[in-house]
Structures are given as C-alpha cells and as structure tokens.
Amino acid sequence: MTYGIIVKKSGETIGAEPVSLSDVKQYLNVTFDAHDTKLTRLITSIRESLEQFKNVTLIDERSVNVSWQTFCDDEPLPFLPIKANTTVTVTDLLGVAIDASSFTLLDTGGFITLVGEFPNGVKLSYITSKQSISNNIKELLIRSVASCFESDMTPKQSVRKHFNYVEIY
C-alpha cells in the first residue's frame, strides 16, 4: 500500500497566467478597473486549483519535490509534464540516491509513473514545464473565474464544476 504523499512546489511562478485579465473582463463585459485586483487574484487561484485538481502545470516551469512515506507498486507523478532534458532525482527520505535498478519511470502518453517498492519511503525531485492548453480549456478557465466573481463559489468549487469531466493533456 502506498501512503503519506507530500508534494512541495516552488513558490515562484515563472511565466504568465494561461488567461489574461483582459480576457476575463471581456467575458464579464466589465469595462472599468475597480475589480482588477480581485479578478487578478481569482485568475491565479483558479489556475492553482486546476493544477492541483488535474495534476498539471499551467505556467512556464516550477520545481517539484514529491515524497511518499511508504511506496508500494506504482503512482503517477504530480504536476506534469516534466521539462525536456530534466533528470528526475530519486532518493530515500534522507536524501540518499536510490540505485536506478530499484525502480522504473514509465512514460505513458505524457504521464510519468514511478514503479517500485520503497517500504521506507521515496522522494523525487524534478522540473515541470507548461502544459499547452486548447482554446476550450482557456474558455473554461475564464468561466471558472467568472463563476467565482459573480457567485459565492470558491475557486476549488468552480474548478470542479467546470473541469470535472475534462481531460488536460
């Protein structure tokens, strides 16, 4: 059984948000600047909620550290895709490198899965890159921001409402 996942992302966001303030204001038919600060915060909150919900990265890049207290069988890595030419570092929880013959990283359709047995835990470090999104996903992001702005809905609720049955790849 695999349990005890901890994910730490770098705090810095490198790159522009996938939707702009002007995109959201145009959708809402807002022509004044009184709500710009609130809308900008909502854009970031919606993006972060969507990244968490779908395990993708929607900004240019970030470093990710993921660890499991006990790891048996296989688990997909969160916040994909991994940046090209980036090495995934695999260590025990104390930071000691684990021999590559002890695990497999499977790449299936852009999703990376760690396969192995680590009863004493495992930690992975890697750099992610931006997941490209379609115009449909961009439109759903804008609608999610609008839902939060116009109603008493949290970013998490809005993302689940708009993206529950949507795949991002």
pLDDT reported for residue 142: 97
Q: Is pTM beyond 0.85 here?
A: no
**CB-based contacts of 107, cutoff 8 Å, min separation 6:** none
Q: What is the pLDDT of residues 29-85, one digit of tens each?
A: 999 999 999 999 999 999 999 998 998 889 888 888 999 998 888 888 888 888 888
Rounded to whole angstroms, the Cα distance separating 34 from 131 reads 32
For residue 110, with 0-12 CB atoms within 10 Å meaning exposed, 13-18 middle and 19 or more buried, which class applies?
Answer: exposed
Least Cα distance to 78 among 98, 63, 95 occurs for: 63
What are 66's two structure tokens?
Answer: 């993921």
What is the distance, to the nearest Å, from the Cα of residue 158 to the centroid of all Cα atoms in its chain? Answer: 16
With residue 40 as reference, give the H or E element that holds it.
helix 36-54
Are residues 69 and 7 in contact, defined by beta-carbon separation less than 8 angstroms?
A: no
Rounded to whole angstroms, the Cα distance separating 123 from 125 reads 7
